[in-house]
A and B are shown apart, each in its own frame.
Chain A
């Protein structure tokens, strides 16, 4: 049997894209409406905006800056129009993107005398040119080991832990064994299973970092006077049969497969090399997926029990469920039906081979339901108070 391959876009910095997006990115809250207007006027571009700006400080400001820069340097992005209010931040982000060899243009609201129509016109012309140029790029063969998978679960039920997450884990192990990368986050959903993750850490310092991250999240919840029951697991999880955070976590970590864990990274930190990493980050799907994509995940494997519509706008997000009721009800949301494993009509191994082939098809250009319906959005977590 020949080695599994897909067709990807080889970027000048050596990364491989599974999409060829032109990004219109507003890096300040003031310019978001113009970025969205440019997106409507030039169909086919992707729009990323942030509602925040100069009031951010400390680690919060660093995370925003790192994540926005990372979106512009993402393997799935061919070129970017960076839009912002004032020069220093816009130019810093544009320079970082330029260093990857990708085309980038900076548009500054100050230089348009804060006239949104002028900014829109300049943005439309720039985005239109970039879109035409990007369309000349061709896909070339790439291997399974060129993939960087992000793993996420949302609106889980017990079928997630029994079937969908272990299934994703099988594909993750195959990608890691082939030299690829994989990353999952949602720290609070390690709680009760952190000893199992720590056991897979490559060394004692990584094991300690995993356990410390969980303790920090647990203490934050306790300090806020929060009972995790009703928050995580949330009402949907509970109605579906999950009773405690430990039960949810023990199912959730299966999406990371069985490969060694090479390190714990922060939101939007690049992964240092091939292999499996974990990200210390919030669990809510839009924030969590945003963090994984900002760290470079090209493709997201997103398991759900009863259905979850959230997808990344930059990384195709494959929705997987094994819940027989959900897969019948959400035919235009769930990309992969694993209910035959739940109903004992297929083995996990058979389904994993099928999922891997869907992953390669999507990597080569097949659209996910989230892409067809344009559900995608990038969200960057906020960490603290602003000025």
Chain B
């Protein structure tokens, strides 16, 4: 059995959830619906936190469960930690005033 240590539940997902904490430089095996893939963690990431599976551009949707969980507020490289410092909700915010 492959020692997979992160999971992405949908083929569309650009993040995976870590099933144990990882160190910087650690090779993470991610179980995806399309098979296992390897990603190198660019920084330490805690248990249950998210790792980027692809480069994510600022403003791009962050996808988990195949659904949008918010948008990137900064460029997130593949292998980077994805959390409130670089992703924010698209909901529960006042509508932008029209110019």
Contact = CB atoms under 8 A, between A and B. Distances in A.
B92 A218 contact: yes
Q: Residue among A158, A159, A161, A191 with the most chain B CB within 10 A?
A: A158
A243 interface: yes
Contact of B82 (A196, A243, A342): A243
A89 interface: no
**B interface, size bucket:** 20 to 34
Contacts of B7: 162
A350 interface: no
B82 A246 contact: no
A55 to B, nearest CB: 32
Nearest to A342: B19
B91 A228 contact: yes
A229 B50 contact: no
A250 B9 CA distance: 12
Contacts of B91: 191-192, 218, 228, 244-246
B33 interface: no
B46 interface: yes
A244 B49 contact: no
**A interface, size bucket:** 20 to 34
Given A161-B65, A221-B92, A243 B19 contact: no
Contacts of B48: 157-159, 240-241, 305, 323
B46 A228 contact: no
B99 to A, nearest CB: 20
A237 to B, nearest CB: 11
A356 B46 CA distance: 32
B92 A243 contact: no
Return the 4 tightest CB-CB contacts between A and B, nearest first: A247-B69, A241-B48, A228-B92, A244-B89
Given A158-B50, A247-B70, 14 more contacts: A159-B48, A162-B7, A192-B68, A192-B91, A193-B67, A222-B92, A222-B94, A238-B84, A243-B62, A243-B70, A244-B89, A247-B64, A247-B69, A251-B65
18 contacts: A157-B48, A158-B49, A162-B17, A192-B67, A218-B92, A228-B89, A228-B91, A228-B92, A229-B84, A241-B48, A241-B49, A241-B50, A245-B89, A245-B92, A246-B67, A250-B67, A325-B47, A343-B19
